[in-house]
Every structure is written in structure tokens, then in C-alpha cells.
Structure 1
Amino acid sequence: MKSQLLRSTALLSSASLISKVIGFIYIIPFTALVGTTGYALYKYAYGPYAIMISLSTMGIPLAVSKMVAKYDSADNEVLIKKIFKSGFFLMFASGVFFFLLLYLSAPLLANIVIDENNGLGNKQEDVIFVIKMVSFALLIIPIMSFFRGFLQGFNIMGPSASSTVMEQIVRILFILIGTFISINLFDSSITNAVGIATFGAFMGGLAGLLILIVYLYKNKKVYFETLYHPTKFNSLSTKSIYKDIIANSIPFVLISLSIPIYQNIDTFTINSILLSIDYNQLEAETVNSVVGLAQILVLIPVSITTGLSMSLIPSVAKSYNEDNMVILRSTLNQSFLVLAIIILPCSLGVLILSDSLYLLCFGVNNSPVLGGLILKFFAPAAIFIALQGVTSSILQSLNQHKKAIRNLLIGILIKVVLNFILPVYINEFGFIYATIAGFLVSSILNINTIHRIVNLKISLIIYKLLSIVLSSCVMIFIVYLTDNFLNSIKIFNSSMYLDQISKVFISIISGIIIFLITMVILNFSKYKKYSKSHG
């Protein structure tokens, strides 16, 4: 059982990591093809699409997975059959509804983000076109997500992992090849190229769905043949099944929406706010695009940290349900240490290397000076975004769904209010500080709620936390010196990109080595002695 659990976790984690890496890498050649204005157009489509995907699936695949696992362990084939039929219909109907909602709302969204009275930048009809193109993916993705959840309920992770990777590979290939052919071979407009790119979501979803359909068809006897035979178990009504699915899914989807909501607040307010303080449309769209590109880099360490910390969450739920506070506090402390040991050095490293990282990833044609500056200010946000995500998950494991949602909404409200206030005084940097403030407040509220429930014993890990902070400070000092030294010389005089790659690589490696050495010098393992004397 343990080896099966580890294998399943490894499969899904690997697929998720591969998918994220591929999803990041393609942005570099894509922005080189379409530029900041083209990427802004792409962002206008994918922002609302991300929200619609979360709403259309509503966390139902996770709920279905739990319900299938529950009734499979009880050999209740009748209920599993009902769950499959009910869940499939629910996902199909949800996909159609949100496809129509996004498709028909395209003119309204375009009107929000683009000022037609300003002749610069993208036009409303451009935004309408790309939003309509991406909306077709909503007919596919919810059904694919449902199939993944259904199979995971039987602890069958291989097809889901393959589907996840294939979806991303096909999507990225379609985006890059389609954009390149459109611009370079057919001399098409940036709008048409971005429209083709957004349709890549549909093609990727179709590829991922086909893998799951083929697997289910080949194994239909295993999953469906026995479902037609009645069993001794009583059956729930279809209405009860719908109620259970939705009730289990709503809290998860609301929390998972936190980052997309923050992103969309920026996407749909930056232009109008900057126009009100004397920016023109092109300048506002450039800032909008650069903020989105910088956020991609900021979210890379966040995704790694959240994944590692989330692996501890089942232990939190189990310990809490068993009322084992000693194990629960130990698990939470471990979770916070995992969070700190990765997010602190990563976010500070991005801060120091912001200029080189942005230039290396997005090139000289995508506002590298502004991008490097925004990334520098944005980098610390990774700490609070990760902390909010992990603490929200912990609250959900402690059955505190309402408080997790309340704290999230308070942070979002702060973000919205500050988004309209701060840019008046500090221009584009106001959007960044608004994001940091929102996630920081939500994180503090989450930690306070967790402490009131379990009486956290942070004193038991204070030495380790201080060791991580001090090691991170030493690391960024060395990285800063290394970066400045490498700036004064040219390793590859013939190539700016090779020079940037070598500089970033050397700085990162030196930072990692110094961080680890400092941790050893500070005797990181001293925690055990400290905890015994302060328990």
C-alpha cells in the first residue's frame, strides 16, 4: 500500500512538474514571436479563461475521486456507475455553459480592458477574437478533468499523468508552430497568430482527452462491465450524488482561484488605471504585459513549494481527526520549514538576478529595463503567495473551509482597493505592492486561525527558521557580488544570450553552494537539541 501510494504520488508530481516546466519554457520563444503587445493580447484571453476553467470544473474531479475511492473500497458498483453518469453529465453541461458564457461575454471583457478612443495598442475586436478562440477549450477540459478524477478514484494514476503531459506538449507545439507559420510563412497579423495560439488550449485538451478515452475503452470491462450488475448495497439517489459532489468541491475551487483572481484583477484594471494617470494605451498595455511576464517567473518557486508542502497535508487531516495534537504540530512545523527552505532563497535569488533573468527569458524586445525593475519589486511576493496557499490548504485540512475563504476574500478586497490607490503615487509598482499586501494579510489571518485551533509551537523550530533566514541573507550577498563581478566582464563577447546564461548559471550555482555551506556552519540539525530543551 505504501509503495503504491509513493508510486502514485511520484507519477502525478512528475507529470505536474514536467507540465509546469514546459508551460514556462514556451513563453520565451512565444514572446519573441509576438512581442509585449501580442503577449498582452494573449493574456487578455487566458486570464478569464483560467477563471472559467476553475469554475467549470468546480473541484468536481477531486470530489469524484474521493467518492469513487470510498465506494470502490466497499465494492459498491451501482453507486460508482451512478457517480460516473452523474459526474460526466455535470461536467458536460458545465463545459457548455461556461463556453457560452465566455464566448458571449467577449465584447464586454474587451470593452473593459481596451479604450477604443485611444489609437495605440490592441483593438477591442482583437481581444474579442482571441477570447472567442480560447473559449472552445471549455468544451473539452471539464470532461477530461472528470475522467482523470474518476480513474484516480481507483488509484490509477498512469493515464492521468500521461494525459497531463500530452495535453501540455500538444498545446505548446500548436502554439509555437501555429504562431511561427502564421507570422513567418503567411505574413499574418499578430492578432491572428495569438488567436491560433489561444486555440492551442482546445487542441491540447483534445489530445489529453483522447488518451483517457482510449485507456477507458481498452479497460471497459474492468471499470464498467461489473457496474451493470446490482449489488447488496443500497443506492443513493442521483440528487444526493449531485449534492455530495458539489458540496465536496466548492471549498477547493474557491481557494484554487486565488492566483487567477489576482492575475485577472491586474489584467482588467491596469490599463484603465494607468490611462487615468496620463499613460497612453500602448504604454499601459506594455506595463500590463510586463507585469504578467514577471509574475510567471515569480510563480515558479511558488509552484515547487506549494507542491512539496501539499504532500504533508494528508498527515494534517489525519492527525486532526485523531486529535493527536503533538503529531499535528510537528507536521505543521515541518510544513513551514519546507516552505521557508525553498521559497526564501529562491525569491531573494530572483530579486538579485531580476535584470538578467528577465532579459534572458524574454529578450531585448520585451521591455527588459522595465521588466527587470518590476521583477525586482515583484520577487518578494513569492514568499507571501506561497505562504497563503499552504496555510489555506492547512485550514481546509482542519475543516476550516469558511475561514480559509473569508481570509482569501479579505486579501482580494485589499488588493482591489490598493490597485486603485497606490498607482496614483508610485505608478506601475503600485500593482505589485497591492498584490503583496493582499497575500500578506490573508497569510497572517490564516496563521492566526491555525494558531487558535492547534496552538502552534513555532518556538520548537525557531533556530531552524533563523538559520534559513541568515543563510539566505549570506547567499544573496554572495550572489550580488558574483553578479556585479560578472557584469564587469564578458564571458562570451560574441553572444549576449550566452553571456547572460553563463552569468545566471554561475550566480545560481554559487548561491546554492553558499546557502548549503552556511546551513552546515550554523548547524541546522541543532533543532533537535533546541526542541528538547524548549518543548
Structure 2
Amino acid sequence: MLKKDSLLKGTIILAAAALVVRFLGLFQRIPLDYMLGSIGQAAFNSANTIYLLLLTIATGGIPLSISKMISTRYALGRPDEAKRIYQAALMFGAVTGLLLATAMFVLAPVYERLSRVPDSAVSLQAIAPALLLFPIIAMMRGYFQGRQIMAAGGISQIMEQILRLIGGIGLAFIVLGLGWGDKYGAAAVAFGSVLGSIGAFSVMMWFARKLKKQDRDEESAIATDKAAKPSSKLPFRTIYREIFRTSIAAVVTAMTVQFVYFFDQSFFMRLTSVFYNHDTAIKVLAEYTNRAMGIAGIPPILAIALGASIIPVISSAYALKNMEEVQRQSSLVMRIVFFTGVPVALLLTVASYSVTGLLFKSPSGYDTVALLTAGAIFQITMMISNSILYGLNKPKQPMYHTFIGLGLKVVCSLALAPFLGVYGLIIGSSICFIVITLLNVRTINKEINLNILGNKWFAYLAAIAVPALAGWGTEYLVLNLTDAWANKVSYFIAAAVTSVIVGGLYLIMLAALRVITPEDVRSFPGPLRKVLTLVLKPFYKRAA
């Protein structure tokens, strides 16, 4: 028996799935660093980035639209219309998947010549079949969310990542063991996404069969006049018009990060040809795509969870014209991001040398990791401000802001990359995220007055600067003291001690400077409130 999930339970399921998926995605990159050379890593990450961008364009926002359409029809007692929408969505997913997979496979050699990333065509062709199933899977996830069965999407995402990780890495071991080289080793890892798509589709089909049987049993148990309620013949054209009208804005904003990474990978070799020689460029590209992008993907995990949970809360309050509650919730979620998401990015930035050395083969590229992870702070604020605007029923505004930000990204990258190399590309990305955030906040403030930190901004910056300086000093000291130890042990000790110093000093500074008060803590969600109360209580007692 499939049971409907409450809003809170559904949010927890999706957030937990996103957390697991992000970490599994990171741990796929770690063995690549040991198994493949720079060319193999660059080839795989090029294929993976294009695949994720195409998948986002094909499905981003559409499952959410389908979810709303399905839930509305069931709420109005029109299950036949809901099933018709589901059929239209599956057809759209099947056709889109076939077109994208074919295009990616056929055009792979063209992209290799355009990007100048050696051996990337084979990896692109290896990952292309995954696009056959994933658009269909995305439509099914939207349908199940509309039926309030969140476990289907969550479990399928986790199964996808597990098979992608184990299958891709396992195949790469076999291919490399046969002596086929990095070219086919990278393609083997890419093919792991195909295995993941099969696993995810199998999970969704199991849930679909079970739900279909459950619906059939419920329909047979209820005496209904079938002649009075004929099957819906809602035109597909009408369905698609509704889907696209409500999802295009979400697709544009959802593709922001993937487009930024796609642009960097596609034009890296061309834009940095003056700054690097060919071999150095391949090495830096591999470090950027495998190490920096992997670690920089950790801080936004919280934003994904918060963004999913805040939209319905703000939407409900806004629909009731309860602007005081809209202001309170919007300010609260931004405050939580600054208090919790920013220090994670700060720590990974400060300890980038140790973290990179611990996770990967060497700490090479740690400066790229530090700069990209620091920019993730602005990526987080962009994502949360997008979610707030969706809750305020203003999806077009973040879409327009995204176009402006991406335009600036392209211009800044073209101007800076020839002189600064990879740093110019990352600076361009950060400018993109900052501009989108500022434009979003300006639009939000036209509806409500966001009160994030009030007059505590200077105190908050001090609460960040002091732990950052202490963290850099601590890492340098510990690395020197443990220089004679095994490298991995030295990196681990340095990262651990730096984490304690940065985290501890950050909390002390927040309390000592009264950046966060007991009143602030009481407004936070339960789990976070309990942790902060336990940690900060001694400092508040001393202050009193």
C-alpha cells in the first residue's frame, strides 16, 4: 500500500535524497583522480557536464509543473484528466529523450573539435543512451510528487547514483585492466550513467505498477456511474501549453549552474590558450572540473533542501495575503543560509589545500578549489532568492535576472580568461551569481522588506574574517608540524584541526558579537534550534 507523504515528510525525503546524491556524486570523482590522467578526467567531465545541461533543459521545471497539474486534478476529483496529463508527459519524455540522445551521439565529434578536449567524443557517445530514459523518469517523478508519493523519486535518485558510481567505476577498472587506456576508461565511467538510468527507471516502474494496481482496487471498491463520468479526452495540445507556460521560467533558472560549467568546459581550451600551453591547460581543466567542481558542490546542498521546503510555505502565506508571515519566513531562510551555509563554504575555502590533498591524489589545484568554493556562497544566495520569488508567484523575474547574469558571465569570461586563466572563468561565474542575487533581492524588497541581519553586517563580517584568518594560520602550522608524516595523515589532521578552529571561533564570534541572539535561535527549525541552543548557551550565560 503506497501512502501519501505529508508536506514535511515529503520535504525531508527529497532533501535526504538530494544530500545522498550530492555526496555520491562527489565520491565518483575521487577514484577518477587515481584511475585516469588529466585527458581522461577532462574527457569524462566534458561529457558529464553536457549531459547534465541537456537533461536540465529537457526536464528542469517540467516535473514540478506536472506535479501541480496532477495534484490539482485529483483535488478537483478529475483522475481521468490526471491520467491523460501523465500520458502526455510520458510521450513528451520519450520523444525528447530520443531526440537528445541521438543528437548527442551524432554531434559528439563536432563538440570535441569545438571544445578541443581530446577524446571527449567517445565519452559523450557512451553517456548519450542515458538520455533515452531520464526524461521519462523525470516525468514519472513529477507524477508521483503530484500524488504525494515522494519516496518514489527519492529512492530512484539514490539507486541511480549507486549504480552510476559502482557500475561506472567497476567498468573503468575492467577497461583499464585490459589496457585500453584513458580514452575508453573515461567512456566506461560515463557509461555508468546509463546503468544508473536503468536502475532509476526500474524503481519508478515498480512504484508505477504498484500504484496502478492500488488505483484499480480503489476504483472497483467504489460504486461509480461510469456512464456519467466518461474518460477525459483533454487535448495534448492543451496539456503541453499548460506545462510549458508554467515551466519555462523554472527551466531557465535551473540551468544556470550547469550552463556556467558547460561554458567553462566548452571554451576553456580556446579562451586560455594564451595563458597556458596545451599540456598545462589540460591539467588545469582536469583539476577544475574534477576537483574544484566536486568540492564546490557540497555547500549548496543546504540551499537545495531549504529551497524545496520554503516555496510552499511562502506560497501559502502569500496566497492568504499574510505579508508579515511572508516577510518572516523569507528573512528567516536567508538568515539560516548566512549562519549555516556560508561557514561550510568558508571552511572548505580556508582548508582547500588539506581537503584537496586528503580527497584526491595530490593537493594540486587547491587554489582553484578555494576560489570556486568561495563563489559557492553567492550560488547559494542566488538559489534561495530564486525560491523566494517562486513562492511570491513571480517566476519570470528570476528568469530575466538569470539571462542578465549569464550574459555578464560570458562577457567577463571572454575578457578575463585570456589574462587570468581559470581564475578569470571563476570570477566571471561569481559575478553572474552575485548580480542575479542582487536583482532578486531588489525584486523581493518591492514586495516585502527582507530583514536578514539588520545593522549586524559589520559584526557578521568580523565573525567570518577572524575564523578565516585563524583557519589559514592553523592549517599552515599543522601542515608544517606534520610535514614528516604520511601525506594523507598530515592532510587529515590539518583539515580536522582547521575545522575545529574555524567552526569553534565562528560560533564564539557569532555569540560574542551578538550577531545571533537567543531570539534568533528560537525562530529556527527544531533540529537546528536544538544544536545552536546547546552550543551557544554557555556564551549567552557569560554575556548575561
> Under a length normalisation based on structure 2, what TM-score does the superposition of the two structures give?
0.88
2:359 and 2:84 map into 1 onto residues whose CA distance is: 48
Q: Is the 8 A contact 2:354 2:495 kept in 1?
A: yes
Select the residue among 474, 496, 499 that pairs with 2:490. 499
**Structure 1 unaligned spans of 5+:** 115-121
Equivalent in 287, 292, 312 of residue 290 of structure 1: 287
Alignment of 1:37-436 (within 5 A): 37-114=39-116, 123=118, 126-183=119-176, 185-223=177-215, 232=229, 235=232, 236-275=234-273, 277=274, 279-292=276-289, 293-364=291-362, 368-369=363-364, 371-436=365-430
CA displacement at 1:463 relative to structure 2 = 5.0
Determine whether 1:485 maps to 2:485. no
CA distance in 1 between partners of 2:403 and 2:182 (Å): 37
Report deviation, 1:152: 1.6
Q: 1:450 to 1:233 in 2, by over 3 A?
A: farther
Aligned partners of 2:243 and 2:4: how far apart in 1? 28
The separation in 1 between residues aligned to 2:388 and 2:359, in whole angstroms, is 34
Shift of residue 291, structure 1, vs aligned partner? 2.0
Shift of 1:385: 1.1
CA contact (8 A) 2:96 2:135 kept: yes
- The 3 A distance-change label for structure 1 pair 85 and 226 is farther
Deviates more, 1:329-338 or 1:227-236: 227-236
Partner-residue secondary structure (3-state), 1:461: coil
Tell me if structure 2 keeps the 8 A contact 1:78–1:231.
Answer: no
1:118 match: none
- Letter aligned with residue 259 of structure 2: I
Separation in structure 2 between the aligned mates of residue 161 and residue 145 of structure 1, nearest angstrom: 12
Deviation at 1:232, TM superposition (A): 4.1
From 454, 472, 476, the equivalent of 2:468 is 476
Distance 1:29 1:101 in 2: 30
The superposition leaves residues 248-270 of structure 1 with CA deviations (integer Å, 9 ceiling, x where unpaired) of 22111111000000001100111
Higher deviation after alignment, 431-440 or 395-404 = 395-404
Query: Distance between the aligned counterparts of 2:520 and 2:63, measured in 1?
Result: 41
Cα separation, 2, equivalents of 1:34 and 1:347:
28
Contact 2:4–2:147 (8 Å) recurs in 1? no
Corresponding letter in the other structure for 2:189: A
Q: Distance in 1 between matches of 2:254 and 2:242?
A: 19
What SS is found at the alignment partner of 1:403? helix
Residues 452-493 of structure 1 show CA distances to partners (whole Å, capped at 9, x for unaligned) of 232x143x73256555433222322332232122122118x5
Deviates more, 1:499-508 or 1:194-203: 499-508
Cα distance in structure 1, aligned partners of 2:459 and 2:10: 34
Change (3 A) 1:503 1:412: same
CA distance in 1, matches of 2:140, 2:11: 18
Matched residue count:
512
Note the residue ranges of structure 2 that are not aligned, 5 or more in a row: 221-225, 524-544
TM-score by length of 1: 0.90
Distance 1:3 1:153, change over 3 A: closer
Counterpart contact for 2:382–2:433, Cα < 8 Å:
yes
The C-alpha deviation readout for 1:105-145, integer Å capped at 9, x for no partner, is 2122111111xxxxxxx53xx22211111111000111111
Between 196-205 and 215-224, the greater mean CA deviation after superposition: 215-224
Over 3 Å counting, the alpha-carbon distance change for 1:315 and 1:231 in structure 2 is farther
Q: CA deviation at 1:58?
A: 4.3
